[in-house]
């Protein structure tokens, strides 16, 4: 009996508790708001601002600056646009308003030196025609700012040397804008080549071609245009970064169709061959008169690597072939320009040298100058090591 009453008691307690529980669950589900009160999902974290940011002045608001570089600031961790330099004030005002740049921080090519008085500017990014790179880099360094200069570094070896000397005497950093050194597919290709994944490297082929319509700075000799300078440089740089070597001799050919007025001043197509100390032979071609084609292939003793879209802003695809097996390597792409600007910003904050200082631009200019000599003379040109 006592057991029974105890059972009855427990059962009653259980039922009471159960009823209470069910009732309370029903109540809370009914009251629970379907949307968060401020429409902000609770798991979303407010980002912390970076401890330090680096202020960038963009010089030359052309296609690259407006279509790639300015939008890339949104993907950058620490680089911020703080000043603009342009020959067209109305355009500059519009760009400043779009990207939150203070309108008092707009300059032109005559007032360029006033950047020296703008403490918000840490680094100047030169995105001008190639013939203006040296002058604006040197003036920027003399104004006491670090400089990122677009490729090709300049139009001659002498200009490159002046730029390097100017950086040294100003005690400021000079980096050349080789965005692919920050791009995961190209970086992986370098690792695979260097780690012997393909066996001993033997041959590399690369092409970088596009159809350039006039008017375009690329078609003007006086502005430093030409397919070798504009797109062939990517092949030259890739041959150097894939092998980790400097070429010892080069050959080259150029073609300039007489019936195409676009090529009054610069060749339409250029091909070149580089011979490296390890024995690697690398052949490249570049053109302003072909459909878009940007890729390279590295052939080693035991494997082959293909990087499709190698030199583009996006869309790289990396394939590795060992014996009969071809595999595609899946990597997460990045915004090349944001990665490049963050890298230089970090170097500035940490007082470190960048991955591609002036010497890297000079090394490419040496090779391109030798290719031009080979084209002119019809001879193989030796490069001093
Ligand atoms: P654009 O012709 O589109 O722009 C160049 C800008 O330079 C002009 O809009 C103008 O800006 C300014 N400029 C000043 N003086 C002159 C002049 N005399 N003639 C023409 N323009 C002048 O060229 P891009 O933006 O395509 O190329 C600029 C640089 O960027 C080149 O060195 C090129 O090699 C490099 N580049 C690099 C790429 C990369 O992937 N790293 C890709 C594309 C280009 P404003 O009106 O504001 O004065």
In a domain, 109, yes or no: yes
Q: Does the Cβ of 63 fall within 6 Å of ligand 1?
A: yes
If you take atom 31 of ligand 1, which residue's CA is the nearest one? 129
Is the domain of 366 the same as that of 249? yes
**Closest Cα to atom 8 of ligand 1:** 62
Number of compact structural domains in the chain: 2
Q: Does the beta carbon of 62 lie inside 6 Å of ligand 1?
A: yes
325 and 266 together in one domain: yes
pLDDT of the residue at 25: 43
Catalytic residue among 107, 234, 241, 296: 234
Q: Which two three-digit tokens encode residue 77?
A: 């961790």
The residue from 132, 164, 180 where one domain ends is: 180
User: For residue 35, what pLDDT is reported?
Assistant: 79
85 CB within 6 A, ligand 1 = no
The domain of 114 spans 54-180
CA-proximal residue: ligand 1, atom 21 (nearest): 129
Instruction: Examine the residue annotation and report whether 151 is marked as an active-site residue of this protein.
Output: yes
In a domain, 254, yes or no: yes
What would the DSSP string read from start to end of 194-205? HTTTTSSEEEEE
Pair 128, 216 in one domain? no
When computed from its CA atoms, the radius of gyration of the chain, rounded to whole angstroms, is 29
Atom index in ligand 1 nearest the CA of residue 179 equals 41
pLDDT in tens, 326-374: 999 999 999 999 999 999 999 999 999 999 999 999 999 999 999 999 9
What is the per-residue pLDDT for 20?
39
Among protein residues, the one with the nearest Cα to ligand 1's atom 44 is 64
Q: Which of 180, 200, 235 is the last residue before a domain boundary? A: 180
Ligand 1 touching residue 360 (CB < 6 A)? no
Task: Look at residue 16 in the predicted model and tell me its pLDDT.
Answer: 41
User: Which regions of the chain are under pLDDT 50?
Assistant: 1-27
- H helices of the chain, in order, are 2-31, 63-64, 70-72, 89-99, 133-142, 157-170, 184-194, 227, 233-243, 336-350, 358-377
Residues 39, 341: Cα–Cα separation, whole Å: 34
Whether residues 176 and 190 share a domain: the answer is no
Q: Distance between CA 77 and CA 334 in Å, rounded?
A: 13
Asked, for residue 46, whether it belongs to a domain, the answer is no
Ligand 1 atom nearest to CA at 336: 40
Catalytic residue among 151, 172, 178, 296: 151
Distance 27 CA to ligand 1 centre (A): 66
In 210-325, where does DSSP find H-type helix?
227, 233-243
Q: Say if ligand 1 is within 6 A of residue 222 CB.
A: no
Task: Please work out whether the CB of residue 127 comes within 6 Å of at least one atom of ligand 1.
Answer: yes
Say whether both 87 and 220 belong to one domain: no
pLDDT at 39: 75
Q: What is the distance in A from the centroid of ligand 1 to the CA of 59? A: 9
Q: Does residue 151 line the site of ligand 1, with CB under 6 A?
A: yes
Helix (H) or strand (E) holding 23: helix 2-31
CATH number reported for the structural domain that contains residue 161 in this entry: 3.40.50.720
Examine the domain organization and report whether 201 and 147 are in the same domain.
no
Contact status, residue 355 vs residue 338, Cβ threshold 8 Å = no
* Unique residue bearing structure tokens 């993907």: 75
pLDDT, tens digit, 9 for 90 and up, residues 288-313? 999 999 999 999 999 999 999 999 99
Q: What is the CATH number of the domain that holds 279?
A: 3.30.360.10
Residue 182 in contact with ligand 1 by CB distance below 6 A: no
């Amino acid at each position: 009996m006592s057991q029974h009453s105890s059972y009855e008691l427990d059962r009653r307690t259980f039922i009471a508790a159960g009823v209470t529980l069910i009732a309370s669950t029903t109540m809370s589900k009914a009251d629970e708001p379907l949307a968060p009160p401020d429409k902000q999902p609770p798991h979303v974290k407010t980002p912390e601002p970076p401890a330090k940011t680096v202020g960038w002045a963009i010089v030359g608001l052309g296609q690259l600056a407006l279509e790639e570089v300015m939008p890339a600031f949104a993907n950058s961790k620490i680089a911020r646009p703080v000043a603009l330099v342009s020959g067209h004030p109305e355009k500059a005002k519009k760009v400043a308003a779009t990207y939150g740049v203070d309108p008092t921080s707009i300059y032109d090519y005559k007032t360029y030196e006033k950047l020296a008085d703008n403490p918000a500017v840490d680094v100047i990014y030169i995105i001008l025609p190639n013939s203006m790179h040296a002058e604006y880099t040197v003036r920027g360094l003399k104004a006491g700012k670090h400089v990122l200069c677009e490729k090709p570094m300049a139009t001659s070896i002498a200009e490159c040397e002046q730029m390097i000397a100017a950086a040294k005497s100003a005690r400021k950093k000079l980096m050349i804008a080789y965005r692919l050194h920050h791009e995961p597919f190209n970086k992986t290709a370098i690792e695979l080549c260097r780690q012997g994944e393909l066996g001993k490297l033997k041959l590399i082929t690369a092409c970088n071609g596009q159809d350039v319509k006039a008017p375009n700075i690329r078609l003007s000799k006086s502005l430093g245009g030409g397919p070798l300078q504009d797109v062939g440089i990517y092949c030259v740089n890739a041959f150097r970064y894939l092998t980790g070597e400097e070429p010892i001799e080069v050959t080259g050919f150029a073609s300039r169709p007489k019936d195409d007025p676009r090529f009054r001043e610069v060749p339409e197509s250029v091909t070149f061959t580089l011979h490296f100390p390890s024995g690697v032979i690398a052949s490249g071609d570049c053109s302003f008169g072909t459909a878009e084609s940007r890729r390279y292939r590295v052939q080693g003793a035991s494997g082959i690597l293909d990087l499709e879209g190698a030199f583009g802003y996006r869309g790289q695809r990396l394939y590795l072939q060992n014996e009969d097996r071809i595999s595609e390597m899946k990597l997460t792409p990045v915004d090349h320009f944001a990665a490049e600007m963050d890298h230089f910003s970090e170097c500035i904050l940490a007082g470190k040298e960048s991955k591609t200082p002036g010497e890297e631009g000079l090394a490419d200019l040496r090779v391109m100058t030798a290719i031009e000599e080979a084209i002119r003379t019809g001879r193989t040109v030796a490069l001093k090591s």
